[in-house]
């Protein structure tokens, strides 16, 4: 039973759940005919694919995780799991996750044996493991690269529901893509000493300064603007009511204000508040979108 606990830790279950939440939000926004089997495939497939990516991330960073206080108690640094066990587990759940995602709208696939949902799941996993993870020790370009798989779940949920990748799917992707920057910047700011100790280059400009804070402000503004666009366009498949527009605008301004405060104060406390705001903003925004669709 203790081994199960360590495998559970390898999944980074709480992080995986937040990723799956975005995918489910995208599904509810896209669906007109709710199918429980599709939703289950999306939830469990997404959870396993995300867990696999998290597992391989820990495998590749096992020697660096020993150095950082935040990650030193993970299963591999403590040798609670053998490397071979972690590799086998991550590989198996990755295959199972992609297999489950492949049941979603598989008949409409234009990619051979992969449904669109499975394809986006595979792209997300490959980018996270083979691009974002190694780039973290080379350049802050890793943040840009990491924002791509980080933004795919919202898009993937829409594609799972509609089997269509178009303007709306791209808009959902863009919202979560630009959200990643203040999210990443706030975490990198708070964890700057730990990241530097392990050799990770996670803060734009290499230090706590106006440069990363300004990027946070700009990307927060862009994210806010994109998030209210559905109120103005004529896409019948995704629209915002006036009430939802106001709510999305208010929380967008609140989130952007947190970035502005960081830019003005340049302190750890402001970064922590921005980090907390980033965790709250995304699900609140997605829930507003969903409620607005069904009310």
pLDDT score for 264: 96
Two tokens, residue 41: 């495939």
Single out the residue of 43, 41, 73 nearest to residue 58, CA to CA.
73
Confidence band, pLDDT 50/70/90 cuts, at residue 32: confident
Please name every residue paired with 111 in a beta bridge, in sequence order, or none if there are none. Answer: 114
pLDDT score for 217: 98
pTM above 0.85, yes or no: yes
Spatial distance between the Cα atoms of 102 and 250, rounded to a whole number of angstroms: 38
Question: Model confidence over 48-88: pLDDT tens digits?
Answer: 999 999 999 999 988 888 888 888 888 888 888 899 999 99
pLDDT score for 98: 93
Spatial distance between the Cα atoms of 146 and 217, rounded to a whole number of angstroms: 19
The residues, any chain, with a CB within 8 Å of residue 260's CB and separated by 6 or more, are 217
Q: What are the angstrom distances between the C-alpha of 113 and each of 37, 161, 226?
A: 20, 19, 34
pLDDT score for 265: 96
Spatial distance between the Cα atoms of 273 and 262, rounded to a whole number of angstroms: 9
Average pLDDT (223-228) is 97
pLDDT score for 172: 95
Confidence band, pLDDT 50/70/90 cuts, at residue 91: very high
pLDDT score for 113: 65
Single out the residue of 219, 151, 210, 152 nearest to residue 181, CA to CA.
219
pLDDT score for 115: 80
Average pLDDT (120-141) is 92
Average pLDDT (85-109) is 85
Q: Which residue has the higher pLDDT, 205 or 275?
A: 275
pLDDT score for 106: 54
pLDDT score for 68: 86
Confidence band, pLDDT 50/70/90 cuts, at residue 211: very high
pLDDT score for 66: 87
CB atoms within 10 A of CB 131: 16
CB atoms within 10 A of CB 236: 6
CB atoms within 10 A of CB 67: 16
Question: Model confidence over 105-129: pLDDT tens digits?
Answer: 655 555 556 788 888 899 999 999 9
Q: CATH top-level class for 1-163?
A: mainly alpha
Question: Model confidence over 145-199: pLDDT tens digits?
Answer: 999 999 999 999 998 888 888 899 999 999 999 999 999 999 999 999 999 988 8
Average pLDDT (226-246) is 92
pLDDT score for 2: 72
The residues, any chain, with a CB within 8 Å of residue 248's CB and separated by 6 or more, are 227, 228, 240, 285, 288, 289
Confidence band, pLDDT 50/70/90 cuts, at residue 283: very high
Phi and psi at 111, nearest 5°, equal: -125, 45
Task: Encode 263-283: b = buried (16+ Cβ within 10 Å), e = exposed.
Answer: beeeeeebbebbbebbeebbe
pLDDT score for 107: 54
Q: What are the angstrom distances between the C-alpha of 85 and each of 3, 10, 65, 66, 79?
A: 10, 11, 18, 18, 11
pLDDT score for 270: 97
pLDDT score for 3: 79
């Amino acid at each position: 039973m203790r081994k199960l606990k360590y495998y559970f830790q390898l999944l980074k279950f709480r992080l995986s759940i937040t990723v799956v939440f975005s995918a489910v939000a995208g599904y509810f926004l896209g669906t007109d005919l709710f199918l429980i089997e599709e939703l289950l495939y999306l939830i469990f497939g997404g959870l396993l694919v995300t867990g696999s990516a998290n597992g391989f991330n820990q495998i590749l960073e096992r020697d660096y995780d020993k150095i950082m206080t935040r990650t030193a108690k993970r299963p591999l640094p403590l040798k609670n799991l053998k490397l071979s066990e972690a590799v086998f587990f991550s590989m198996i759940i990755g295959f199972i996750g992609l297999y489950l995602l492949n049941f979603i709208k598989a008949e409409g696939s234009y990619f051979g044996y992969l449904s669109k949902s499975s394809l986006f799941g595979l792209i997300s996993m490959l980018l996270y493991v083979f691009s974002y993870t190694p780039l973290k020790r080379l350049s802050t370009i890793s943040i840009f690269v990491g924002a791509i798989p980080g933004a795919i779940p919202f898009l993937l949920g829409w594609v799972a529901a509609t089997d269509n990748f178009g303007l709306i799917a791209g808009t959902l992707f863009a919202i979560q893509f630009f959200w990643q920057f203040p999210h990443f910047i706030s975490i990198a700011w708070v964890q700057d000493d730990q990241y530097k100790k392990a050799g990770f280059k996670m803060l734009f400009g290499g230090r706590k300064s106006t440069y990363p804070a300004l990027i946070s402000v700009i990307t927060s503004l862009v994210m806010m603007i994109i998030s209210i666009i559905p109120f103005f366009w004529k896409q019948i498949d995704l629209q915002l009511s006036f009430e939802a527009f106001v709510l999305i605008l208010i929380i967008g301004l609140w989130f952007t204000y947190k970035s502005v405060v960081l830019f003005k104060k340049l302190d750890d406390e402001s970064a922590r508040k921005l980090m907390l705001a980033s965790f709250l903003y995304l699900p609140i925004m997605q829930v507003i979108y969903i409620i607005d669709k069904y009310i």
